[in-house]
Structure 1
Amino acid sequence: MTKNSGSMRGRTVLLTGFTAGLGRAAALELAEQGADLVGICRSREKAEAVAQEIRQRTPGARFDWLVGDLGSQSDVRRVAGEFLAMDRPLDVLWNNAGLINLARETTVDGLEMTFAVNHLGYFLLTNLLLDRLRAADAGRVVCTASDAYKFGGRLDFSDLQAESNYSSFRVYGRSKLANILFTQELAERESEQGVTANCFHPGFVASDFSKNNGRWARIMMALGAPFARSPEKGAETGLHLASSQEVQDVSGYHFVNGKPRKVGLSVQRPGDAEELWRVSEELTNFTS
């Protein structure tokens, strides 16, 4: 990872899913670059472990965390409120938390879990914090997506909850496509508000992402381990989108290896991004 110590000094970053893998690598690097960092995760113990690591690596770093489950809409609303109550600016929101399940599971809200965490959690948290991002000087939204979207096919708006013929990889791929479509629509809506939105493919990252995500994920991680990137390498494009002046005015793109890429019409129909936004508003009871 390219070091750029101090490049984030004076900027506040809110990062979800920071306790392992890519998220942990990003948290360590952002703290070293001087960011005022706030994390969101599900485990207080894991948060404290990362906080200790940050203190050891970067004495004097400012790092706080909030505990919440992004699969619970009440938790998302609570942690968003807790962040706003900190009365801090928000320069960068990095939506990174994600999962994949072997079998179909539902959240406390009765929604299919992969779609709820990987997309609706991003959608709701971002919208709850948009005013704070708009108040920043060039606020940025970064979403960890994946080129796994290519294997999910187009979104099936008649079955976004994957109630028929559940396939873990297809559902995961579609949740990553949802990240890309959300990014596109957010960028369009915020084009006059000074907030940019971009997402990126981290590559196949060697991490413990699979530990809490079922047997299928563990098998896939084991098979792919010889070809996997390090978490630090996987985080590079996200860090570039969060910090680089080169992309300050760039918005609405899916980045791969630091470069913007187009999403093919084989998985995206005209109007899909707008329709996903509308459905997401309904599913989260949020109107922008």
Structure 2
Amino acid sequence: MTKCGYVSVVGRPNAGKSSLLNWLVGEKIAMVSHKANATRKRSNIIVMHNSDQIIFVDTPGIHETEKLLNQFMLEEALKAMGDCDLILYLAPVTDKISYYEDFLLKNKKNVKHILLLTKIDFVTNEQIIEKMKEYEQFSDKYECIIPVSIKKQTKQSDILNNVVKYLPVHPYLFDPEIITTEHLRDIFKEFIRESIFENISDEIPYETDVMINKVEEKSNVDVVKATIIVQKDTQKGMIIGKGATAIKRIGRDARVKIEKLTGKKCYLELFVSIKKGWTKNKDGLKELGYDINS
């Protein structure tokens, strides 16, 4: 009798969702950035725990905004919350309770959830206990509360044992050998986006995207050709950099990530293209895979 189900991982932007998932699966799959709003779409990451299968759903951060791209991201998070068997809500220990109250309002279907108190490495044990007491007023809302340190104290099983308690008895939905339902080209795209976030400062990464033009998998090398999309001429100049230094750095960082995942060499060729105002209109967003319903 195996258990199997979908578990949405949600929280405000930069709450540590992608880092947690990479740690739980033991591989770098989800895009991680110290800058908020890096994750734009839902993605499935599969973890086998003993004889049970957990399909974690990585989601964009929950936040309100006027921007069209951010509206798409909020829709993605809300859909994931409504379609799952369990929610892991990540609450950084220094956060105000109001973020959690907002999540409770958005959890329209009252899906069961576990509260994870994240980023506890940066505070004292007394502060952790104090914050847990603050959440006690909501104890009828969550199943349990778990302080999480992915750097030292917490073991993966501390979380996974609690997760499977609330999953339905069900046959596996996916082959136990795979760790994600994402296509390789989509993971490559996210690695390139992550490298842009790491190497280009300020707001520019938020106005960029990546289109994978070609992936050719050979026995000893992957050939990847991709185009970085920007909104303005000035942004193109900054992505390329003086003497092409910036784009070489982006490419080098992305290639290292790809090779670590695939275990073979990668030949990565990057281009830069301008799509004026693509983040500000529905057609531009749809062309890059962000279809807004409202």
Q: TM-score with structure 1 length normalisation? A: 0.35
Query: Which protein has the bigger strand share?
Result: 2
Greater Rg by CA:
2
Q: TM-score with structure 2 length normalisation? A: 0.35
Query: Which protein has the bigger helix share?
Result: 1
